[in-house]
Every structure is written in structure tokens, then in C-alpha cells.
């Protein structure tokens, strides 16, 4: 009888562990999915820093940088212009004297934060996504 009780407890414990692992992956996502989301979050953080550095560059020079390389070469600027996943440069293009476009490739569609009524500017789909930005001229 002890042998049967032990086997039953082992089966129940094994089932609980397996169900917990499956539920955890379903709720949190797989480690590879988490890595992709982390890469996308890093891309958005990089683009935000590039945006801030571009504003500062414009206020010091009264013009947009001609390229991300020019922006990164400024000794007062610390930005990452290389995508952490692909090791390719982010895309930058001046549209006129005070507006520009930043583009990056995203692995996943951004998740809408719960309780947010208005979509965040940096909300994106998967694949190549571009954001049109205006320089903060202080005016």
C-alpha cells in the first residue's frame, strides 16, 4: 500500500510541475520570445536616445546631422546607432530643416500597455518601421 501511495504522490507532483511549467510559458512566454521583446525594447530605447541627441545637435548647430555617423562622432553625444540584434545601422534621413525619419526593424509587434487610452508614439508593428520626428527647437 505504501508503494501505491508513493507512486500516486509522485504522479501528482510530476503533473503539478509540468502544468506549472506549461502555464508559466503560456503566461510569460518562452525564453526566445522574451529575448525578442527585449531586443525590440532596446531598439526603442536607442531610437529615443538618438531623438534626444538629435535635438541637442540641432540646438548647438542649428541644423540636423547629415547622418547617424555624424551624430555619433560628436564627442558630446553618446548614442548607439547599431541595432543590437542585426548589428546593422539604424536608418536616418533628414526630411527638411527640422524634421527627420528614424527607421528600425522590429521582431514583434509592440504590446499595448494595459490601461493606456492613447497609443504611444513608439508603438510599432513587426518588420521595418519608421518614425517621423520633428526637432525640439525650443521655440
For residue 117, the model assigns a pLDDT of: 45
Average pLDDT over residues 63-74: 94
Report residue 20 as a C-alpha cell. Answer: 506549472
In a domain, 49, yes or no: yes
In a domain, 98, yes or no: yes
In a domain, 113, yes or no: yes
For residue 110, the model assigns a pLDDT of: 83
Residue 54 burial (CB < 10 Å; 0-12/13-18/19+)?
A: buried
DSSP 8-state symbol, 56: H
Range with the poorest average pLDDT among 4-18, 75-89, 92-106, 108-122: 108-122
DSSP 8-state symbol, 130: E
Query: Domain range spanning residue 43?
Result: 31-134
Number of separate domains in the chain: 1
Report residue 42 as a C-alpha cell. Answer: 532596446
Quick one: which of 123, 133, 130, 120 has its CA closest to 57? 133
- Give per-residue pLDDT as tens, 25-39: 555 556 777 788 889
In a domain, 109, yes or no: yes
Give the separation between CA 64 and CA 87, rounded to whole angstroms.
Answer: 24
For residue 35, the model assigns a pLDDT of: 84
In a domain, 89, yes or no: yes
- Give per-residue pLDDT as tens, 48-64: 999 999 999 999 999 99
User: Is the separation of the CB atoms in 98 and 132 below 8 Å?
Assistant: no
For residue 2, the model assigns a pLDDT of: 61
Give the separation between CA 6 and CA 2, rounded to whole angstroms.
Answer: 6
Give the separation between CA 101 and CA 67, rounded to whole angstroms.
Answer: 11
Report residue 121 as a C-alpha cell. Answer: 508614439
| Ranges assigned E (strand) in 1-139 | 91-94, 99-106, 127-134
In a domain, 22, yes or no: no
Does the pTM exceed 0.75?
Answer: no
In a domain, 43, yes or no: yes
Amino acid at each position: 500500500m505504501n508503494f501505491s501511495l508513493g507512486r500516486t504522490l509522485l504522479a501528482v507532483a510530476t503533473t503539478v510541475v509540468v502544468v506549472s511549467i506549461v502555464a508559466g510559458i503560456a503566461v510569460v512566454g518562452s525564453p526566445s520570445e522574451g529575448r525578442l521583446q527585449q531586443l525590440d525594447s532596446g531598439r526603442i530605447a536607442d531610437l529615443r536616445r538618438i531623438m534626444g541627441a538629435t535635438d541637442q545637435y540641432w540646438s548647438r548647430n542649428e541644423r540636423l546631422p547629415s547622418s547617424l555617423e555624424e551624430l555619433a562622432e560628436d564627442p558630446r553625444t553618446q548614442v548607439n546607432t547599431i541595432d543590437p540584434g542585426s548589428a546593422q545601422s539604424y536608418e536616418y534621413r533628414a526630411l527638411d530643416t527640422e524634421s527627420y525619419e528614424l527607421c528600425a526593424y522590429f521582431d514583434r509587434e509592440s504590446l499595448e500597455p494595459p490601461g493606456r487610452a492613447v497609443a504611444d508614439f513608439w508603438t510599432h508593428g513587426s518588420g521595418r518601421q519608421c518614425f517621423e520626428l520633428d526637432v525640439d527647437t525650443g521655440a
